[in-house]
């Protein structure tokens, strides 16, 4: 079934991405992402053979030994209603235990190589690890409770719905430093489920950054190279950007870094590891799209409606709600909707977006007309379009002093 779907949705003589036959108007990366979702669907068919009560429990319960729990690294901010207290925007995903996708990938690896030119035969374990969350079944009715080091209160999320729970919860008084959070599990459960809380003051600076082809080489405009970068290869940073972000961490006085990507949340462990190791001086929460493999209509609607602009705009709204008194530098690229998203955010929020940087990726739509429309009504002093040759010079721009280009 999985091989048939992959072959049917990948045009053999087109430079566009998979699923073009179904979503010709969808952006390249999102259409390609659907091929990863398709891989997950093969496993979901098996998991759906489980009793229905596993999928939608009739009563609320805490995660148990049969469940997997993922709590995303979280931004923390001052509680406007209770000065001195800290709020954290906590998000958790509870699912069935992850299945080993290696046998499935081994079965289809020959067809993937023959049909798509994608050879995963020597990296099956790596590909299986990066796709592991696609093979889980989201569980509703699960209550997640956490404790955070150096904070006064334990925090509980509302019960999961479709596997996800997200809410602003109070941690009481915290000491204002990055802190380790731990999920409260049953005494018989010896697993450690940890996450990091990144607090930041109500004022000062922050950085909102895209990931793919902004800080990480993803080859979003080449279907085969994108697949290899996601499933097979060691992740590679865009040359010079770790140094630029390290410089920003100093010049902006430890800003709140937040990474926003339209990639599905199932890639979170892979992307988190990349950010934590390659951008360790500028790590922070990662916001990813909450599309699930069991909600096919949501996936197709998102792709068909070119929902990346709406999604990223909503994430900026979300960040502005947490840090209305901050100023943010936004960093993106020209492969998708970053220019349009950041231009609209500047028009909507004014000085909340202090500056927007856009990497001009070779092969993308880098026309003057496109950028003029994206930043219509925005002062040229508020954005910078840069090439790869200009990346080292970004570290010399005095963003804190009000300079953008």
Kindly report the CATH number assigned to the domain that includes residue 92: 2.60.40
Residue 298 has what pLDDT?
56
CA angle 119, 120, 123 (to 5 degrees): 140
Residue 337 has what pLDDT?
95
Res. 47 pLDDT band, cuts 50 70 90: very low
The rounded distance, in Å, linking the Cα atoms of 227 and 2 is 16
pLDDT digit string (tens) for 236-255? 999 999 999 999 999 999 99
24 occurs within a structural domain: no
Task: Centre a 10 Å sphere on the Cβ of residue 190 and count the other Cβ atoms it contains.
Answer: 8
Distances 147 to 104, 152, 193, 352 between C-alpha atoms, Å: 37, 9, 11, 32
**CATH number of the CATH domain containing 266:** 3.40.50.1000
Residue of 62 and 56 predicted with greater confidence: 62
Phi, psi of 55 (to 5 degrees): -85, -40
246 occurs within a structural domain: yes
Same domain flag for 252 and 167: no
Residue 341 has what pLDDT?
98
CA angle 212, 214, 215 (to 5 degrees): 85
Q: For helices 223-231 and 28-47, what crossing angle results, to 10°?
A: 50
Cβ partners under 8 Å of residue 229, min gap 6:
217, 218, 219, 235, 236
Residue 290 has what pLDDT?
86
261 occurs within a structural domain: yes
pLDDT digit string (tens) for 293-352? 555 555 555 555 568 999 999 999 999 999 999 999 999 999 999 999 999 999 999 999
The rounded distance, in Å, linking the Cα atoms of 297 and 290 is 13
Cβ partners under 8 Å of residue 3, min gap 6:
108, 111, 112, 115
348 occurs within a structural domain: yes
Same domain flag for 173 and 217: no
Same domain flag for 230 and 366: yes
pLDDT digit string (tens) for 260-283? 999 999 999 999 999 999 999 999
Same domain flag for 318 and 379: yes
pLDDT digit string (tens) for 124-173? 999 999 999 988 999 999 999 999 999 999 999 999 999 999 999 999 99
Same domain flag for 220 and 237: yes
Q: What 3-state DSSP class applies to 198?
A: strand
Range of the domain at 68: 50-97+136-199
Q: Is the pLDDT of residue 2 over 80?
A: no
Same domain flag for 164 and 286: no
Same domain flag for 389 and 268: yes
Look at residues 156, 183, 199 and tell me which one is the last residue of a structural domain.
199
Same domain flag for 253 and 321: yes
Same domain flag for 192 and 253: no
Q: For helices 2-9 and 28-47, what crossing angle results, to 10°?
A: 160
Looking at the 3D structure of the chain, how many domains does it have? 2
pTM of the model: 0.87
Residue 368 has what pLDDT?
98
Q: Is the pLDDT of residue 13 over 70?
A: no
Look at residues 156, 178, 199 and tell me which one is the last residue of a structural domain.
199
Tokens of 374: 């994206």
Residue 355 has what pLDDT?
98
Residue 280 has what pLDDT?
96
Residue of 133 and 54 predicted with greater confidence: 133
Look at residues 160, 181, 199 and tell me which one is the last residue of a structural domain.
199
Same domain flag for 267 and 152: no
Residue of 27 and 274 predicted with greater confidence: 274
- Helix (H) or strand (E) segment spanning residue 109: helix 102-116
* Percent over 70 (pLDDT), the chain: 81
63 occurs within a structural domain: yes
Same domain flag for 267 and 170: no
Residue 55 has what pLDDT?
46
- Are 335 and 30 spatial neighbours (Cβ–Cβ below 8 Å)? no
Res. 19 pLDDT band, cuts 50 70 90: very low
**320: burial class by Cβ within 10 Å (0-12, 13-18, 19+)?**
middle
Same domain flag for 333 and 295: yes
Out of 2-11, 38-47, 101-110, which region has the weakest mean confidence (pLDDT)?
A: 2-11
78 occurs within a structural domain: yes
């Amino acid at each position: 079934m999985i091989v048939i779907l992959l072959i049917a949705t990948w045009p053999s003589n087109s430079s566009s991405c998979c699923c073009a036959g179904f979503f010709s108007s969808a952006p390249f990366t999102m259409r390609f992402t659907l091929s990863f979702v398709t891989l997950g669907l093969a496993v979901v068919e098996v998991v759906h053979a489980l009793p229905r009560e596993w999928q939608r429990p009739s009563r609320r319960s805490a995660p148990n030994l049969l469940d997997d729990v993922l709590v995303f690294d979280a931004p923390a901010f001052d509680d406007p209603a209770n000065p001195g207290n800290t709020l954290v925007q906590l998000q958790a995903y509870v699912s069935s235990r992850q299945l080993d996708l290696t046998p499935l990938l081994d079965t289809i690896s020959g067809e993937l190589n023959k049909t798509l030119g994608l050879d995963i035969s020597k990296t099956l374990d790596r590909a299986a690890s990066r796709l592991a969350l696609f093979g889980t079944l989201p569980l509703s009715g699960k209550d997640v409770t956490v404790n955070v080091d150096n904070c006064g209160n334990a925090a509980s999320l509302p019960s999961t719905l479709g596997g996800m729970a997200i809410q602003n919860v109070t941690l009481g008084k915290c000491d204002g430093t990055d802190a380790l959070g731990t999920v409260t599990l049953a005494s018989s459960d010896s697993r450690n489920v940890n996450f990091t809380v990144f607090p930041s003051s109500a004022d000062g600076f922050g950085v909102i950054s895209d990931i793919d082809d902004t800080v990480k080489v993803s080859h979003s405009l080449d279907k085969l190279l994108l697949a290899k970068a996601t499933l097979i290869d060691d992740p590679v940073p865009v040359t010079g950007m770790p140094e630029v972000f390290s410089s920003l961490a100093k010049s902006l006085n430890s800003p709140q870094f937040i990474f926003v990507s339209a990639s599905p949340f199932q890639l979170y462990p892979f992307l988190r590891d990349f950010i934590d190791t390659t951008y360790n001086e500028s790590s922070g929460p990662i916001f990813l799209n909450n599309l699930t493999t069991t909600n096919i209509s949501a996936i197709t609607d998102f792709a068909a409606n070119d929902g990346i602009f709406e999604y990223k705009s909503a994430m900026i709204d979300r960040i502005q709600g947490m840090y209305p008194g901050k100023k943010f530098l936004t960093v993106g690229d020209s492969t998708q909707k970053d220019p349009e998203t950041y231009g609209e955010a500047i028009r909507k929020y004014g000085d909340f977006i202090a500056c927007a940087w856009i990497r001009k990726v070779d092969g993308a739509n880098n026309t003057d007309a496109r950028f003029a429309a994206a930043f219509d009504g925005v002062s040229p002093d508020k954005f910078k379009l840069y090439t790869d040759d200009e990346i080292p010079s970004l570290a010399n721009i005095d963003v804190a002093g009000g300079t953008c280009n």
